[in-house]
Amino acid sequence: MKKSVKITIITLLSILLVVVSAGCYAAISFQTAKEKSEAKVSSKNQNFTGDEQTSDKELTVMVVGNDSRDDDEDQGRSDTLMVAHYDGKTKQPKLISIMRDSYVTFPDGGQDKINAAYAYGGAQMTKDVLKTNFDLPINYYVVIDFKEFSDIIDELYPKGVTIDSEKDINLDGVDILKGKQTLHGNSLLQYARFRMDEEGDFGRIRRQQQVMDALVEQSKDLIPIWELPQVAGKMVGKIDTNVPTSLLIDLAKDFLTGNVKPLKSLSVPVEGSWNFNDYTESGSVIEIDEQKNADAIKDFMKDN
């Protein structure tokens, strides 16, 4: 065997060894970090069945924010409902925020606020309601408790997140002054949760989208790529999700390297498609034009 051929074979084997070793290290780092997490994953979502991806480059993830505090009168209901879409080919992230008091049709034909779906049937019921009302396919889900959200933000953004607060806000003992400032986990959470003013959920949805936009914009170079498996393991251990580990890490790489377009957002119900109604069995609700909102969502998802 020629010397040049031997060198080539040795080089290829060395590269293969490095790749395999890196893969093993990544898997071990991820699993170790995940097992050390103390978060408890809910059993109510184990039977979730997602819609098949139309492309391995595109995915749609339902994000449920859950406030599990014992004194919450809406315990078990989703406090926040978003649908995140990412096109890995165009590198375009999108976010649909759905108001919690939207009065929607359930698969059995009854009506209730959309945030009741999670209490009735977990992630699967919430997904079914989104499909029934908006013809919106969902591939995966993420359920995150507010306490874990604060911890995750502090873990991923140790220097905080820069936000230009649109007003003075006080919620759960946290004071936030109007203007540009750096917020850490719990303060950022309260900014995104606040709705105790004349705008109610409309203002809260706008602030949530502002927070998500800041998280995407400020995600570049947060952590070295080689630390990603370990950090991903910590994060997955704190949330309830069926997003595959390999896909989660691939997505994180795009955002951490700044290889994504600016976030596009849509609020549902869209303008001119809703009315307030105080005389339902569910109390005060936002009645929506389901078809108009479904069409708006479809147009939003197609726009790249």
For residues 189 and 149, the answer to whether their CB atoms sit within 8 Å is yes
pTM of the predicted model as reported, rounded to 2 decimal places: 0.83
- Domain membership flag for residue 24: no
Over residues 1-22, mean pLDDT: 43
- Domain membership flag for residue 21: no
H or E element: which one contains 85? Answer: strand 78-87
- Domain membership flag for residue 111: yes
Could you tell me what percent of the chain has a pLDDT over 90? 50
Mean pLDDT score across all residues of the chain: 82
CATH code, domain carrying 79: 3.40.630.190
**Residue 156 confidence class, pLDDT cut points 50, 70, 90:** confident
pLDDT in tens, 70-126: 444 455 678 899 999 999 899 999 999 999 999 999 999 899 999 999 999 999 999
**Distance from C-alpha of 164 to C-alpha of 167, rounded to nearest angstrom:** 9
- Domain membership flag for residue 258: yes
Q: What is the CB neighbour count within 10 angstroms for residue 148?
A: 21
Residue from 150, 155, 183, 151 nearest 169 by CA: 183
Alpha carbon of residue 276 to chain centroid: 27
> How many domains, the chain?
1
Q: What is the pLDDT of residue 225?
A: 67
**Residue 15 confidence class, pLDDT cut points 50, 70, 90:** very low
pLDDT in tens, 239-255: 899 988 778 878 878 88
- Domain membership flag for residue 35: no
Domain that holds residue 138: 40-301
**Residue 197 confidence class, pLDDT cut points 50, 70, 90:** confident
Per-residue HEC secondary structure of 116-155 comes to HHHHHHHHHHHHHHHHHHHCCCCCEEEEEEHHHHHHHHHH
Q: State whether residue 93 is helix, strand or coil.
A: strand
Over residues 17-32, mean pLDDT: 39
Which pairs from 149-152 meet CB under 8 Å and 24+ separation?
A: 149/65, 149/185, 149/189, 150/185, 150/186, 150/188, 150/189, 151/185, 151/238, 152/185, 152/235, 152/238, 152/239
Contacts of 117 (CB under 8 A, 6+ apart): 78, 106, 125, 126, 128, 129
Q: What is the pLDDT of residue 55?
A: 82
Least confident of 90-104, 211-225, 255-269: 211-225
- Domain membership flag for residue 6: no
Judged against a pLDDT cut of 90, whether residue 201 lies above it is answered with no
- Domain membership flag for residue 260: yes
Q: What is the pLDDT of residue 42?
A: 64
Alpha carbon of residue 277 to chain centroid: 29
Judged against a pLDDT cut of 70, whether residue 3 lies above it is answered with no
Judged against a pLDDT cut of 80, whether residue 130 lies above it is answered with yes
- Domain membership flag for residue 199: yes
Residue type, position 87, single letter: D
Rg over CA atoms, the chain: 21
